[in-house]
Structure 1
Amino acid sequence: MRTELVSEPGSPDRPNEDFASVGLPASGQGGSLVVLDGVTPPSGGTGCLHSVPWFTARLGGALTELTVSLPDVPLAEALHRAIARTSAAHAETCELSHPRTPQATVVLARWSPTVVEYLVLSDSALLVEAPDGAVTALLDDRLARLPRSALATDALVDSTLRNKEGGFFTAAADPSVAARAVTGVLPRDRVRALAALTDGATRWVEKFREGDWTDCFGLVRKEGARALVDRVRELERGDAGTRTFLGRGKTHDDATVAYAEL
């Protein structure tokens, strides 16, 4: 097995809000991959004493442990338990009902000798390569399908769309959101490799249109996860003046790539 993790903050002046891990059970019979993208809150408070990196470290740590130690528990149930555990850690000190309580997107994958399970919640991506080289993007596209007019302001998003029916969902304080994730199971012999990317890395495809998901996966396989992040940074710097592709988005976002050849 070959695994590779790269995670880089969008700015050296701000902590990285992403989380990534690969867990390999002592039995050597499988493994798991966890990638979270912490949601940067707008100014104005979150009702929480803790930072987004605190939240992603807690949630990511719980998911890493649960996906490895409880191989028979479905990934959605593992996410449910991890959210509940993280919420309990600060329920007495923080307003967890606040729409901007710390939260994150989630990508999980777990493999055994017979199957590969996956879970995707919100706008990070999981790419799956088959033995013949075909690449499938497993996405939760609810946020992408919303009209731009519905995303005009943070207040509008928080009041009408964030973690609401007809909108989009992230892992925040309510464990029931785990049932909203995109999940599935693939035969192990149909998966050669996996790549999980936060939206700071998917910019190569989704914002800059440098290639499709197959091209993106090929770049990671041939040149490594660092090469993809470096290419994104070059494109961001080149677009910073005109903002042709970036628009109103951040010039640089936290970017994480986790790759595993099974």
Structure 2
Amino acid sequence: MRVALASLSADPDSRNEDFAAAAPGAAVLLDGAGVGSAETGCTHGVVWFSSTLGSLLLRSITVQPARPLADCLADSIGLVRALHEDTCDLTYRASPTSTVVAVRAGGECWSTSS
């Protein structure tokens, strides 16, 4: 599988909130989303959220190649939640979010918003 990745920040003066990565047989893309400079309830921010979720998801789908992608994402979301539920208000309406796309070579392709 040949993969080329590129991503740009929506605002040239801000950090890129997206995450893209590939490993043999799998790739993930997350389009991180926040509410501009509004309070998020999260001390980590959108960049941390999307990169942490993306890394955990790619790890999960490569380590467990037979596990459904939706289950890998659910597990990864649970891990990210556990990493910051004690320090952040995860019920805050403007908490960081991301659209997630994941694919396995020769396997399933799946997309959702988290």
The residue type paired with residue 118 of structure 1 is C
User: What residue number does 1:117 align with?
Assistant: 108
Q: 2:61 & 2:32 partners in 1: Cα distance?
A: 20
The residue type paired with residue 65 of structure 1 is R
The residue type paired with residue 71 of structure 2 is E
Q: 1:19 & 1:44 partners in 2: Cα distance?
A: 21
How many residue pairs match? The answer is 114
- TM-superposition CA deviations, 1:116-157 (whole Å, max 9, x none): 201111xxxxxxxxxxxxxxxxxxxxxxxxxxxxxxxxxxxx
What SS does structure 1 have at the residue aligned with 2:31?
strand
Deviation for aligned residue 1:73 = 0.9
User: What residue number does 1:73 align with?
Assistant: 67
Q: Does 1:108 align with 2:102?
A: yes
Q: 2:35 & 2:94 partners in 1: Cα distance?
A: 6
User: What residue number does 1:34 align with?
Assistant: 28
- TM-superposition CA deviations, 1:221-240 (whole Å, max 9, x none): xxxxxxxxxxxxxxxxxxxx
- Does the C-alpha gap of structure 1 residues 105 and 47 become closer, same or farther in structure 2, counting only changes over 3 Å? same
The residue type paired with residue 41 of structure 1 is V
- Percent identical among aligned pairs is 39
User: Structure 2 matches for 1:222-237, cutoff 5 A?
Assistant: none
Q: 2:83 & 2:40 partners in 1: Cα distance?
A: 16
User: What residue number does 1:2 align with?
Assistant: 2
TM-score, normalising length from structure 1? Answer: 0.42
User: What residue number does 2:17 align with?
Assistant: 17
The residue type paired with residue 61 of structure 1 is S
Q: Does 1:61 align with 2:55?
A: yes
Deviation for aligned residue 1:10 = 2.4
Q: 2:10 & 2:74 partners in 1: Cα distance?
A: 29
The answer for unaligned runs of 5 or more in structure 1 is: 25-30, 122-169, 172-262
- Does the C-alpha gap of structure 1 residues 6 and 44 become closer, same or farther in structure 2, counting only changes over 3 Å? closer
Bigger Rg over Cα? 1
**CA RMSD between the two structures:** 1.3
Q: Does 1:87 align with 2:81?
A: yes
